[in-house]
Amino acid sequence: MSTTPGANSRFRPPRTCFSCGVNKAAWTWPRVEYCYDCMPGGPFPAPPCEKCGSSAYFSQGLCDRCHPGGPDHLGACRGCLAWGVYRQRSWLCSSCIWWRTHYPRGVCAYCHRESRIADQGACRLCVEQARMLQEPGRALDLAGANKHGQQLFFANMAFQRRRTPRAALTPDARPKGWKTPGGWNRPGPAPTTLIVSEWVQPTLIDVDPDPELVLQRTLIENSELTRYCAGIVREHAERFGWSKRQRNDVVRSLRLLQTLRDSPTAKIRASDALQLPRWGGSIVSTIDVLDAAGLLVEDRPRPIESYFTSKTTGLPAVMREQLDVWFQIMRHGSTTPPRRYPRHDQTIRTQLLGIAPILHTWAGAGITSLAQINTRMVNDALPDDLTQRHWADRGLRSVFLILKARKLVFADPMRQLPIVNTRATIPLPLDPAAVRTALNHPDPATALGIALVAFHALTNAQTRAIQLTDIIDGRLTLPDGRVIPLAGPVRVRLSAWLDQRTARWPRTINPHLFVTQHTAGRMNAPGHTFPWKKAGLNPQSLRTDRILAEIHATGGDVRRLCDLFGIGIESASRYAATLGHPTFREELPDPRPRLD
């Protein structure tokens, strides 16, 4: 067998140096596993490139630009034959990468090459050739433009073919064959109405679709759904300032949903849209478009519902039904006697967390219904830790109170037990150096968020909910009616953040002061961890530190604390109780942190 490698294998990307693991091996044939710096007896100076004489030696006697496996070696695009692409991008230009995710493979009707074929039956090279020869106001002449050959071009270079901006053209003034901003050509006008059916044939057997077939069908999808939503996608993109990539992701997601939905005329369930990331789609923006089009069926479970299901899985059926009654009344309240207001999801979550271990212990002991529980069993099941015992007591009292009112248990076993009160905690201050470092954070959003809490002790929810119209003439108006004059350092950081916000998202219409890359194209507030995650500080701890500093600076003025920070008498008394406590040092930092 011959040991001489072929011409192609000689110029493939070589292996890295056996010694340093950074540089490429000096030669593929003859095989040398070391670079010139690590060769035994070396280092040796690398020879110049055999083709261009460059000193940037790569491998096989060539530099990184002349070697076909080098990172800077240029080649022709496999899709449109444009010159100037690299191996790292699979020898494709940016436009052909987009074509690969939007159009199927086929044979071009004009140049007869096998490539990605658009709706006109032409490859990208033929389409670009027709566009270069297109006369103003006339449709593309694909056959005539490609009759006598094609003019190649350089990769990733924009062609300026239109003098009139795309947004300036009205739908009536757009020429035939106009390509919509969604990224697809559709014959004929978009339908003004879409007939949808509320009835859907249930599936007999659930079978996961073949990913390859789904992607191929998505590329050739041509339905009334995508054409009907094209105008809505365009309106959302212009209104919220979507990027071209985000707009194309929404179009591709609509094609996926049209392919995956149970019936061609059925509305689309929001739970089906949650599967879009599996196929490379976008969830939130697609759901917004479907909701605006009136084609969305909202069936997504709320996080508290999923949490309840996870905590009650494995319990007996009767106990599960009793807990479901409690859960529904806690969530939605009750308008029939005994009436009850709905509770916050966090309250339900905390009480579930306290009672779930006890319920599973009772279920493991053979108890199938909460009607079998007595006072002795509750007293034995309560945990020894005071904090856990407090929340378990609160949760069980809530459960048995509702079940007794609905006559689902015979007696309330919690009535004879004393209420468990948790141990009172002492609020503690933060390290002033950590607060000062966070105030001078290089990220303007983080620095502004920390400053709002450090100087004015706002809560996390209040900070994230601030809107641009809430700040007028250096004064911040809170939802409770309080008007706060912003401190000087806060104004400096506010100006820096507004400059960055305008420069980064100039077209966003999100009314909130703080926006992120995820919320700039929408109307909602940022998540709970923004902008505190980068600072490494908990906003509640920072707010506690500022309230402590204020109560010690005023000598225990509880009334002033309530007016200044919007807290109740009970909370203010908790902070006032720290005066003279041995845990604190003699003097706390000044309530208005100085910037050194």
Residue-level pLDDT at 572: 84
Fold of domain 432-576: hpI Integrase; Chain A (1.10.443)
Find out whether 524 and 408 touch, Cβ atoms under 8 Å: no
Residue-level pLDDT at 186: 42
Digitized pLDDT (tens) for each residue of the chain, 596 residues in all: 333 334 455 556 777 786 676 777 777 767 777 788 778 777 788 888 877 877 778 777 788 778 877 777 888 898 899 988 888 788 899 889 888 888 888 899 999 999 998 878 899 999 988 888 887 667 778 888 888 888 888 888 755 544 444 444 444 444 444 444 334 444 445 566 666 666 666 677 777 777 777 766 666 655 677 778 888 888 888 888 787 778 888 888 888 887 777 676 778 888 888 888 877 778 888 888 888 888 888 888 888 999 999 999 999 999 999 999 999 999 999 888 888 899 989 899 999 999 999 999 999 999 999 999 999 999 999 988 888 888 899 999 999 999 999 989 888 898 888 888 766 677 888 888 888 888 999 999 999 999 999 888 888 888 989 999 999 988 999 887 888 899 999 999 999 999 999 998 888 888 999 998 888 888 888 888 888 888 888 888 888 888 888 888 888 888 888 888 888 888 888 888 888 766 665 544 554 455 44
Q: Give Cβ neighbours of residue 505 (< 8 Å, ≥ 6 apart).
A: 241, 515, 520
Neighbours of 411 (CB within 10 A): 13
Q: Which two tokens stand for residue 60?
A: 């096989």
pTM for the full model? 0.58
Residue-level pLDDT at 190: 59
Helix axes 244-260, 224-240, angle to 10 degrees: 150
Q: For residues 447 and 442, give the distance between their C-alpha atoms in angstroms, rounded to a whole number.
A: 7
Long-range contacts of 387-392, Cβ-Cβ distance < 8 Å, separation of 24 or more: 387/422, 387/423, 388/354, 389/420, 390/354, 390/420, 390/421, 390/422, 391/350, 391/351, 391/353, 391/354, 392/354, 392/355, 392/358
Q: Which two tokens stand for residue 199?
A: 């009835």
Q: Which two tokens stand for residue 160?
A: 């300026």
Q: For residues 164 and 488, give the distance between their C-alpha atoms in angstroms, rounded to a whole number.
A: 47
Residue-level pLDDT at 198: 60
Q: Which two tokens stand for residue 422?
A: 């948790």
User: Residue 119, SS3?
Assistant: coil
Domains of the chain by residue range: 1-73, 76-159, 211-297, 315-405, 432-576
Residue-level pLDDT at 270: 84
CA neighbor of 459 nearest in space, from 571, 565, 345: 565
Q: For residues 361 and 541, give the distance between their C-alpha atoms in angstroms, rounded to a whole number.
A: 36
Residue-level pLDDT at 1: 33
Residue-level pLDDT at 223: 67
Q: E strand or H helix at 228, and its extent? A: helix 224-240
Residue-level pLDDT at 318: 93
Helical spans, DSSP H, in 15-156:
94-100, 124-132, 142-145
